[in-house]
A and B are shown apart, each in its own frame.
Chain A
Amino acid sequence: MPMMMLKGNESTAYAAKLARVKVVPAYPITPSTVFPEKVSELIANGEMDAEFLPVESEHSALSAAIGAAATGVRTMTATASQGLAFMHEVLYIASGMRLPIVMAIGNRALAAPVNIWADQQDTMAERDSGWIHFYAETNQEALDLTIIAFKVAENENVLLPALMGMDAFVLTHTMEPVNVPEQKDVDAFLGEKKINYPVLDPQKPATFGAFVFPEHYMEFKYSQHIAMEHAKKVIDESFDQFYMKFKRKYSKVSGFMVEDADVILVTMGSMTGTARETVRKLREKGEKVGLVKITVFRPFPREEILEITKNADIIAVVDRNISPGFAGAIFTEIAASYSNVKDKPRILDFILGLGGRDVKIENYEEIYERAKKAKSGKFEEVQWIDVDEKSVKEVEGSL
C-alpha cells in the first residue's frame, strides 16, 4: 500500500476514486474547494471514471447528487459552512428519499462574522437532518471514514446519506502521510454498488419523494429513525470488516487512558490529537485523566458513551460549537444520554477553538484544572476557554 503526502481534501478525493464514485456534482467553497479540484484532475487524467458536474450552487450540487443517486450510482460531493447551510433543505430531502450519498465537509465557522477557519458549527446545525455523521481526527481517518461511509450508507438496512467532517485547514489543507489502500482491496471491501432501492428507470416509472398526508408522514419519519438505529450495528460491523482488511481500527467512541480516570475529556475531530498529548503529559505527573474521542455523532453512540465514562467523576466535554442560550452540541447529547442514569458523573461543557482559534495544550490543562475543581464546590456548567471575557463584558455587560 503506497504512502502518499495528502491534504485532507485530497484524502477524500482519493477515497472517491477508490470507491469508484460515478457522479460528483460540486460547487467550490473554502475550505473544501480542493476536493472538486482534485476529483476533476483525477477524471481529466483518466485515473477516475466519473462524471464531474460543475453546478451553480451548493443547493444545486446536492440536488444533482440526489438525481444521480436516484439512478443507483455511487455519488459524492463536498462542501463547508455557508455551502452546507445553503444545502439545508436538500439535506432533508436526500435523507427522506433514503439515498446513500456521501459528502465530505471541511468543518468551518458560520458567518457572521465571516470566518473561514475550523469550527464544527456547520455540521452541528445539521444534526437533525437524518444524515449519518462521521468525524476524522487525521487525514488517514478522512480517507478511511469516507470509504466506510459508503459501506454503511448503502447497507440495505440503512440507506441513509452520510457526511464525513474534517476540520478546516487543520486537516483540509495540511499534508500528512496517508496510507492509500490498493484499489483491489477497496473493491473487495465495498463490493459492487448494489441496486437495493428503487431507482429512476423509464421502463418502471415511479414517484420519488412523494407528497404525503398527515395520515402517513409520521410513519415515514419513524422508518427513517429506525434506519438510523440500524446504522449503529452496521457501523460496528463495517468498522470490523475494515479492520480485517486494512488493519486500521475504528470505533464510534474510543478511549485513551480512561480505565482509572477521574476526569475524562471528550473531543471530536482534529482537536483530539492535542488532547491526547495533554493527557499523556498530565499522566506523567500522576494525574488521573483520560480521553474519549467521538468518531460517530449520528446515530449518537449513547450506549458506548455511558459505558466508557461510567467510572469517571467528571466528564469534561470540549465543544467546538455553541448553541447560544444553552451549551455545545456534544455536551447536550452526553447530558441527555445520562438523563435516566441514577449515579452519574458531573458533566461539564468547555467551549473551545471557535472560528479556528488555536487549540493548545495549555487550553486542555486549564480545562483539566477547572474540571478537577468542579469535583467539589461551586462550578459553572458551561465555560468558555481562551476567550477575552473582559472586552466582551465591556460591550454586553456582565451576567
Chain B
Amino acid sequence: MARITASVYTSHVPAIGAALDLGKTGEPYWQKVFAGYEFSKQWMKENKPDVVFLVYNDHATAFSLELIPTFAIGTAAEFQPADEGWGPRPVPVVKGHPQLASHIAQSVIQDDFDLTIVNRMDVDHGLTVPMSLMCGQVDEWPCPVIPFAVNVVQYPVPAGRRCFALGQAIRRAVESYDEPLKVQIWGTGGMSHQLQGSRAGLINREWDNAFLDRLIADPAGLSQMPHIEYVREAGSEGIELVMWLIARGAMADVAGGARPRVAHRFYHVPASNTAVGHLILENA
C-alpha cells in the first residue's frame, strides 16, 4: 500500500529560479533565501520519496483563457519546463507517474471531486522552483512528480475548505494504491504578496506567521477562512495559499492519526515581491 510520508510547503517565486539559473545564489540578498533550504535539501536526500505529488498553480502558462480547469492532474509520462517568456528554465524534464496519477484521478473523481485530466502540459515556475529549492541544481530530478495545477488566476478560485477536503480525498486515493510507494505531497505558492496596482509589494509578516501556526496546529479551522481575508490581508496573489491546504488535508492527523512532526520551518522577507514561507511536516 502506498502512503503519504510527509508534506512540504514552500513559496514558488520565479525570481528564485532566475537567481539559481543565473548563478546569483552567492549574493547576500539571495543567500538569506537559500539558507532556509539548506536543511531541506539534506532532508530530501535522507527522505527520498518514490513520488512527489506537487500542488501548484499554472501562471497563465499551460492554460490560457480558453480553458480554465479548477483542478488539473497531470497523468502524462513527462512534462516539459515551460518558456514563460524569458526562455525555458535550464532544469530537467519532469518525469510523471502515469499509473499512480491515473489511480488518484479515478479515486478522487469517484470521491466527488471533478478533476481535469491532463496529458499534455508544460510546467512553469510554480512547479520547477519548488523542485529546485528542495533538490538543488541536478541533472535529473530524484523522483517522478505528479503535477496538480489549481486555478488561482481567474476568479472564482476554490475555497480553502474544498482544498482541505480534496487533500483528504487524495490521501485516501494514495492509500488505496497497491504498490508500497512513499509519496510526499507538496503545497506551493504564497506567502503574502501582491503583484499589481498601487498596493504592489504588500507583505503581512504577522498574518503569514499566524497562517503557518494554524496550518500546523489547526488546519481544519484555517480551512474555513474565506477568500476575502487572504486577498485583503495577504495581497491579491496571497490567495495562492489555499493550495497549502490541499497538502495539509492529506496528512494522517486529519483522518484521526498522529499529529505530524514539524521537521523544518522558515520565513523570510523578501524574495523579489514576496514573503517566502516554508514548512516540512512528517507523518509519524
- Are A and B associated in one complex? no
B interface residues with partner A (beta carbon < 8 Å)? none
